[in-house]
């Protein structure tokens, strides 16, 4: 059995981070392509959402951890 973890740049801060490609929170860019968001930016986003009276964006459990290779969706 193997595990898979993706490395990519956060859509918000452009920092490099590791994530589970099936569970990471994402936002669509101007071309409609989903882009991953790191956990630090999710905290910042949620602080802003809270100020505006909006609900928090909650990452799925395991969003920033490796996934079983069999769970990877191509």
Confidence check: pLDDT of 73 > 80: no
Q: What is the 3-state secondary structure (H, E, C) of the chain?
A: CCEECEEEECCCCCCEEEECCCCCCEEECCCCCEEECCHHHHHHHHHHHHHCCCCCCCCCCCCCCCEEHHHCCC
How many separate domains does the chain show?
1
Can you tell me the distance from the alpha carbon of 2 to that of 14, in angstroms, rounded to the nearest whole number?
28
Instruction: Report residue 62: phi and psi, to 5°.
Output: 85, 10
pTM, entire model? 0.87
Q: Note the pLDDT tens digit of each residue in 4-62.
A: 999 999 999 999 999 999 999 999 999 999 999 999 999 999 999 999 999 999 999 99
pLDDT at 1 (0 to 100): 76
How many other CB atoms are found less than 10 A from the CB of residue 74?
3
Confidence check: pLDDT of 68 > 70: yes
**Domain coverage including residue 66:** 3-71
pLDDT at 34 (0 to 100): 95
């Amino acid at each position: 059995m193997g595990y898979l973890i993706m490395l990519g740049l956060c859509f918000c801060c452009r920092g490099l981070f590791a994530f589970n490609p099936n569970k990471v929170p994402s936002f669509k860019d101007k071309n409609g392509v989903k882009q991953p968001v790191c956990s630090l930016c999710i905290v910042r986003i949620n602080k802003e959402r809270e100020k505006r009276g909006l609900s928090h964006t909650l990452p799925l459990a395991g969003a920033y951890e490796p996934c079983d290779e069999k769970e990877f969706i191509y």
